[in-house]
Structure 1
Amino acid sequence: MTRTVYVNGDYLPETEARVSIFDRGFLMADGVYEVTSVLGAKLIDFDGHAVRLARSLSELDMKQPMSKEELLEVHRELVKRNEIDEGLVYLQITRGSDGDRDFVFPDPETTEPTVVMFTQSKPGLADSPAARKGAKVISIEDIRWGRRDIKTVQLLYPSMGKMMAKKAGCDDAWMVEDGFVTEGTSNNAYIVKGNKIITRALSNDILHGITRAAVLRLAREAQMQVEERNFTIEEAKEADEAFTTSASAFVMPVVEIDGVALGDGTPGKVAKRMREIYIEEMRKAAV
């Protein structure tokens, strides 16, 4: 089945979608993105993604090409046209192009951003076999740029990290800077010690995860202890359990770090409970 995608105001078959070779997203990684999950043909935490998108655009002095209401309408239309029950909607906005390659930003008054959206069908997203099994991660040095709080399309090193993990027979990598875990390649990282959830505090060093915000709020509402602070990879190896959060995987238990099994090597009770609570609450609030 050929997907319907969205490019600059038009709904098109994916085989007909085109973007200029001079687009700055292609030439300079000058763009931002968001990924919104779909459960039961409804969007999960859309408002959070819209707010973070606006912040990313503002931090890069990029024009907001569409209102939140317009973005929601397109997301819903793509879900409908592509008959997505469980899956994802990917949104990317670049600075566009004024017709040639230049390090200097084009004039925002005369250059329109490029807006692209498409869906991915992911049956079984909520009842994930991977979540029941748990993930194995390795640690790698974090050598990314210093503004990881902006959700840009500069994803080469995270992709390299995923491949390092794959070559090691694992599922993902946790990045380490100055001895402390920053985050996973495409997710926020957590450890659990004595029923206390520990995760790095927000700063320019990590992405301000939308799923992270929801999970921490729900954990506190469930009377769980939450501590936002740095932790080392050695501390993580000695934790009772660990997990990650992301829009595309929700809450993913981690069962092994650098070959060291956590607990009994199976998903921990806190991670499993937070996944259940998150999915239940997000289904209720989905739009």
Structure 2
Amino acid sequence: MARIAYVNGQYLPIDTPAVQVEDRGYQFADGIYEVWLVRDGVFLDHAGHLARMKRSLGEIRIPQPMSDVALDIALRETLRRNRLTDALVYLQITRGVSRRDHAFPAGTIRPSVVITVRPAPRAPVSARAEAGIAVITQKDLRWKRCDIKSISLLPNVLAKQAAREAGAFEAWLVNEAGEVTEGSSSNAWIITGEGRLVTRAADETILNGITRQRILRIAKAQGLVFEERPFTVDEALGAREAFVSSATSMVMPVVSIDGRPIANGAPGSLASALRASYEAGEES
């Protein structure tokens, strides 16, 4: 089945040339993106993704290109045209097309909007969660505004590639203080020996994941003790459990870091329970 993309008001086969050479997303990575996981045709955490999109646009001063209603129609129509009910829906908004110059273009230009959809079958993700994943550590080389969901992801790409070449699923990024900031495409968590859930606070060093936010609400509703603070690689290696969270992985247990096992090297009970709560749609 040919995949269909939404490109600036048109629904086109995904292999149709449609993005102009002087689009600032292509020239400068001057734009933002969002990714929704869709299950049974439902966009999970939809309101949270829209709110973060608006924040990211505001932080880099790109006007929202269409109303919430129009965007919602475009997202759902692109999904419908691809005839999928379990999918990942990717939205990218760039500043638009103008003569190449680092500074913002003079006057008003129209932001560019692209929506693509791809299948997201459940079985591979569930199997990965049952086995747990390996992560490696990499130096955090990213810019200092990781709270913006920017399309400028080269350091993340290099870290993810290093993980794949090492036979791991994810890379945990480590700052100069030896603290884990987050994964190349996920938030990082540990569970201490005392059963405390720990993840880094949502400041400018991490992307405040929508899945991360929901896990914290679930933890609060269930009376779990959690701390939003930095943790080191050594603390993670000594933890009872570890996991990553993202829209695509939900809650994914980590069983080893740099080839060293976490606890008994198997997915932990609390991470598995949080995943079950997330999949069941539990909320505060």
- TM exceeding 0.5: yes
Q: Distance in 2 between matches of 1:157 and 1:274?
A: 30
| Matched position secondary structure for 2:243 | strand
Contact residue 85 and residue 123 of structure 1 kept, 8 A: no
Closer, same or farther in 2 for the Cα pair 1:126/1:72, shift >3 Å? farther
Unaligned runs of 5+ in 2: none
Q: Which residue of 2 aligns with 1:222?
A: 222
The question of 1:191 aligning with 2:220 is answered no
- After TM superposition, the structure 1 = structure 2 runs for residues 1-40 of structure 1, keeping only pairs within 5 Å, are 1-40=1-40
CA shift, 1:221, in A, is 0.5
Q: Which residue of 2 aligns with 1:92?
A: 92
Partner amino acid for 1:180?
A: E
Q: Which residue of 1 aligns with 2:136?
A: 138
| Matched position secondary structure for 1:15 | coil
Which region of structure 1 is more displaced relative to structure 2, 176-185 or 160-169?
160-169
Unaligned runs of 5+ in 1: none
- After TM superposition, the structure 1 = structure 2 runs for residues 67-78 of structure 1, keeping only pairs within 5 Å, are 67-78=67-78
TM-score normalised to the size of structure 2? 0.96
CA shift, 1:16, in A, is 2.1
Q: Deviations over 1:240-263 (max 9, x none)?
A: 110011011111110001111112
Q: Distance in 1 between matches of 2:181 and 2:112?
A: 31
CA shift, 1:110, in A, is 2.5
Contact residue 125 and residue 249 of structure 2 kept, 8 A: no
Q: Which residue of 2 aligns with 1:48?
A: 48
Aligned-residue CA RMSD (Å): 1.5
| Matched position secondary structure for 1:216 | helix
Higher relative contact order (CA 8 A, sep 6+): 1
Q: Which residue of 2 aligns with 1:153?
A: 151
Q: Distance in 1 between matches of 2:164 and 2:236?
A: 20
| Matched position secondary structure for 1:169 | coil
Say how many residue pairs are matched: 282
Runs of 4+ in 1 over 4 A off after TM superposition: none
- After TM superposition, the structure 1 = structure 2 runs for residues 114-129 of structure 1, keeping only pairs within 5 Å, are 114-124=112-122, 128-129=126-127
Q: Distance in 2 between matches of 1:5 and 1:111?
A: 22
Q: Distance in 2 between matches of 1:207 and 1:91?
A: 17
CA shift, 1:126, in A, is 8.4
Contact residue 136 and residue 168 of structure 2 kept, 8 A: yes
